Structure 1
Amino acid sequence: MTDEIRFDGQVAIVTGAGGGLGRSHALELAKRGAKVVVNDLGGARDGTGASSEAALKVVEEIRMAGGEAIANGANVTNRDQVEKMVADALNEWGRVDILINNAGILRDKTFAKMDMDDFELVLDVHVTGSANCTKAVWPVMREQNYGRIMMTSSPSGLYGIFGQANYGAAKAALIGFMNALHLEGAKYNIHVNALAPTAATRMTEDLGIPDQVFEQMKPEAVTAGVIWLVSKDGPSKAILSCAAGGFARAFMAETDGVYLPPGKLSPEAVAEHWDAISDTSTINFYQDSNGPNMNFLGKIAAHQKKSGDQS
């Protein structure tokens, strides 16, 4: 039986925590002993407007339950505001152990009809916003030799969805961000993971999910996975796909592929070998970008050895 996961003495920052998934994460962290910075700009789903009401309400919920929390209205795209948010947490509690990058907006349209300002804004909030918050806590976590960071990706980023080219691009970018930070943070005991959730929130209310399923897709079902990801014993470089109590781990993988020597290297040869290149029975999982390079170098060496043996 796994021991209860606790966060006593730890400090967490949750962005976009005024409602939906972020609120659920903040409440559960506080319930399990964490002191929580409840960040929320208080804007609409498309990112317009601002209000401190939602964050203050969540803080009140936490305090009424006996927990500790402070509200923060920083816009994650504003570096100065984000740095002040982290400084406020340090002034209040002296450390930051957990960062959950959850803040996000939607500007859905087909790419043909999408204004590029909407494309850039969605990337700015999701990607640059996550980078700003992570950059602000990174030296703190390195210094204390401990940190747990979670990116919020999406099935839209992993697999694509019609009408969300901007959102999908942003959510896919966070996977690459996670991969690099996992490597850079390892020696400082900083774990970095990504969540790919679907939950019943204002971000998903237009997806046409059947009512009986939508009712099961409560944010709390996703939060159960988040709590594990940001815990002391949680993994690093994991992509957790989850919805309605279902959990699966997503991976980036690559087929073993083929080697085409210089004399046989052509677009036609790639086409001829496409089935072998695409053979999913030979999937490899790499720890970093050296993996595929070493695979191909190995194929070159094997080809050269075989050619030398034949000569």
Structure 2
Amino acid sequence: MIERTDGGGSAGPAALTRLPLTDIVQPDSPRLAGPDHEHARLLANSDAALPPILVNRRTMRVVDGAHRLLAARLRGQEAIDVDFCDCDDDEAFVLAVEKNVMHGLPLSRSERTAATERILGAYPEWSDRAIAAVVGLSHKTVGSIRRRATKDADPVTHRRGRDGRMRPVNGAAARARVSSLLADRQDASLREIARQAGVSPDTVRNVRDDSRRAEALTAPEPRGVPEQDPERREPPRRASACVRIQPPGPAGRTALMRSLRSDPSLRFSESGRLLLRLLDMYALNPDDWARVSGDVPAHRASDIVRLARECGRIWQNFAAAVEQRQRDAGEE
């Protein structure tokens, strides 16, 4: 049975879950030889409280904290504090590697190499730098492992960087596509060209500016007061329509959260991880919301209603700010 422990009052951290050791599944660890028993004994003999371990709620498998779990067993504990994450097996392995690189007993180079090969198999579209940020190797080393591990695999035309953007592997070919689209679709926005060519709007802007500079260098010297060339005239900016996004519904919300959690641009930045945690808290299904609202004590109902409405207003302002940034980018 799961117990709850107080996390330190209403102003403190969230309450931890205290879980029986028998309910926890052994980790799918990046450590090739398994946990280091000597390191676990050092933790067990320490007087310090063991920090909570990280457990995948879907499988009850340890994601981070195998040595702490072993230390708890050596101490004779029956339960341990845990934090939960919710992800599939590939995402859990990436998170395990990232956590083990950041703290605790360091991974060996062979373990980091093996982890890199596994992540490349699960996420071949991730860039060398994105994987390097997880495994703690240089991007050049990751590139070398990629070439060795995927030499017989189908070539990947685009890769997703640490910022979450997909970029072409062959930059010259991509710029040639952009140049052709700019010539054929002179009334299209940068974002439309970028979407069709599979590149970023910044790449489209750079190709366009390079083309204009080349034209200016080769243009004949004008005589007298030149008239504006209509073919060189800047296309009019079109008003960007505000797109109303429909709510995804419970099933769509679950799929959308799964997609957001696997996006490196969110997973590998502090603000991105904070946003995911906030969205996770509000992504309850209608039955959960009904149960929570039914359990609100009557004597605090007015206070909770006031705070809930204020939270709603804050989220509305946040959504409006993000939409405005999209509109501003679409006008470029």
TM-score (norm 1): 0.29
TM-score (norm 2): 0.27
Rg: which structure is higher? 2
Choose between structure 1 and 2: higher helix proportion.
2
